[in-house]
Amino acid sequence: MVSVMHANNEIGTINSIGEIGKICRERGIYFHTDAAQTFGKLPIDVNRLNIDLLTASAHKMYGPKGAAMLYVRTGVKIKPLLHGGGHENGLRSSTVNAPAIVGFAESVKICLQEMKQENRRLIKLRDKLIKGILKNIPDSYLNGHPAKRLPNNANFRFAYIEGEAIIMQLDALNIAASTASACSSPKLQPSHVLLACGMRPQDAHGSLRLTLGRWTTEREIGQVLKILPGVVEKLRKMSPFK
């Protein structure tokens, strides 16, 4: 089996899973994609993308935490990890969390209704954020693909300073950010994703991830563009790396 993220949760790059799936299909290999970042945000056609197995999580689309799904193409054989009462068609035994499932389904319905309109809104805000930061902060760089990226993701690196210091300064000014993925934000190691992209550890340490959501406003983007240049300049004056 081959497993590839549909889109990376740190740098926002959307992977060419349709091409990867085609190669797997031609060789008789099962293809799985983790669509946690894209399900409900981007159109997904499992047939066109040659997907055999797909996972998604409810909380990534404002659904209840603790609810997830696994799509299994007809004919794909998998073995359960939990055995017992035979729930979920024999694939996962344990009492079914009906309220979470209903909440998940409702969040999917809302996302599908709003997807096109919300994506246009987020892309406009995301691009304003990216252009503003790259234009107004010297030695700043965008991480990830400039075009093939999630509508809500902007990931940067800033020379001569550490991302951890940036997020502490921003946090004091009521701006939430992270240096890597939210699930590993307490770690002080450089992002393994950025290192795998060929970045030097000192450059990876200078990364900042800003993500947008359903309630992000243009005014808030303006606040970030107003505050961040001063934060970076302040930290660079104190930096031993410059």
Active site residues: 183
Written as six digits, the tokens of 126 are 């995301």
Dihedral angle sign, alpha carbons of residues 192, 59, 118, 124: negative
Summarize the chain as % helix, strand, coil (round to 5): 40, 15, 45
3-class DSSP string for 24-80: HHHCCCCEEEECCCCECCECCCCCCCCCCEEEEEHHHHCCCCCCEEEEECCCCCCCC
Place of tokens 């024999």: 90
Instruction: Name residue 135's amino acid.
Output: K
Residue 15: closest CA among 146, 193, 145: 145
